[in-house]
A and B are shown apart, each in its own frame.
Chain A
């Protein structure tokens, strides 16, 4: 059980980078960008094929990020210059990337099990420096010694990476350009009247968003030990689920708070899926169904709870109102006089 939750935590924090990308397009730019399904695999494919060919895994991961940036920019160009509907330009880019991903990999699956990846490097590092020993020792001390995780390195490394990206995103959204990107999603007409090229802002925003998605894809491929052409299917929904769950649970008071919420949402989503898959009659193939169910729940539950609370509040107020009316009714004479003088 502990190992399963630990694994969910570990992949949750890697997928969180993808979720941050989805947050950027979906919430900040108000652009439902389906490119994500394709660019996630593009990131994985670029990193995998470079690693297999002996390139330094960290350099390969950074290249994946750059390629993802260009894929996102292209969606932006199709939408702004080509004036194609936002959803459609994302879908077009997604299916175009499917073929491109196959071309990059040369086949539908590239295994990385025997290669040196960023993850194996981090794992080795944490083993030799004794980080693993330290944390495992702590676990054994509190009585959880029978199910120790493979390594602590990846989790710690990913926490550092994901939070760095979070802080960079927060800072970027407060710069002059970042403010213009946010305003583009908020009120396009307004920001054009303040001399900002909204087309450029959309292209830039989608580029950054897909750069994060591809980066996350590259890391997931290295963590899982393979890149597969189908690994991106439904990724946008997973991203949305993370954003929506995070926002519902942790709030959206400020940008920094919301990005933190998105990371939290991604981890919670992974934990929920892991727990769901432990239910007897559910199979791994049911994962997409579970995802859809979680998203529907996350979308509708807060609203329904809100309506329920509102109803209760109204009912209570009505009761209070009746109670207030009862007082003058007891003193009929005065109340009647008051009513008459009112009319």
Chain B
């Protein structure tokens, strides 16, 4: 489904600020896999996401999606196959447009955009139906501008928009990090429901270790641009946060350098 082979990425190469962002990343995800990614700040998690989504291109290595080489495919072309939810709840929706217009944009993600009406009667029914699955009452506010929604509602809508057209892969980039605990819990619950419902292949970056353990069937830990630790479904079920921290210390010889990761 998704295959990353020997991905290297260096920022500011040849200058004093040179930083190795990704160092020989190899990752294969099969259909239906839900992989959670943890790691301290600067571990390369976001760069990894950007490589897959096409925001950046690797210096070396290959990205393939649905057994197609997409390494140099433009971001917007690749988006036909990829659903994304960003950390910032404001980033995934267009604030001055209505809920149904936002959903219409998401609906066209894997189709050719034409001069046909964006929101038709038939589509509105579909939008209402998928919005009901969020249990937030948004299905009764189809004509409300998205800018009027709360952060949690906007993130739930972003999640729905990224998923209801069933992308080949779903990328979640710390999508609950900017929300208050109760909202974050709601989004986590919705993520689980939606991924199960559509059987989505999902890659989720998170700072929250508990979330990384609760969700998904595989877990990888990154540090300094490398994947340093990887567990499969059976091992993951037995892991606790202490195990993860101990494992990090065993591999790296230092404590995990992220207050956010420890606190959460």
Contacts and interface: CB of A to CB of B under 8 A. Distances in A.
Interface size class of B (residues with CB under 8 A): 35 or more
A198 B76 CA distance: 8
A186 B90 CA distance: 11
A257 interface: no
A53 interface: no
A168 B124 CA distance: 22
Interface string A15-31: 00000000000000000
Contacts of A177: 113-115
Given A176-B118, A177-B113, A182-B94, A195 B77 contact: yes
A194 B91 contact: no
Interface in A185-200: 186-187, 189-198
A175 B75 contact: no
B101 interface: yes
Interface in B81-138: 82, 84, 86, 90-97, 101, 104-106, 108-110, 113-119
A191 B92 contact: no
Given A194-B79, A195-B80, A179 B92 contact: no
B119 A191 contact: no
B53 interface: yes
A103 B101 CA distance: 45
Contact of B118 (A178, A186, A192): A178
A176 to B, nearest CB: 4
Contacts of B84: 193
Contacts of A176: 104, 108, 113-118
A105 interface: no
- Kindly list the 7 A-B residue pairs having the minimum CB-CB distance in the complex, ordered from nearest: A195-B79, A186-B94, A176-B113, A179-B118, A183-B94, A194-B109, A195-B80
Interface of A: 172, 174-180, 182-183, 186-187, 189-198
Interface of B: 53, 74-80, 82, 84, 86, 90-97, 101, 104-106, 108-110, 113-119, 161-162
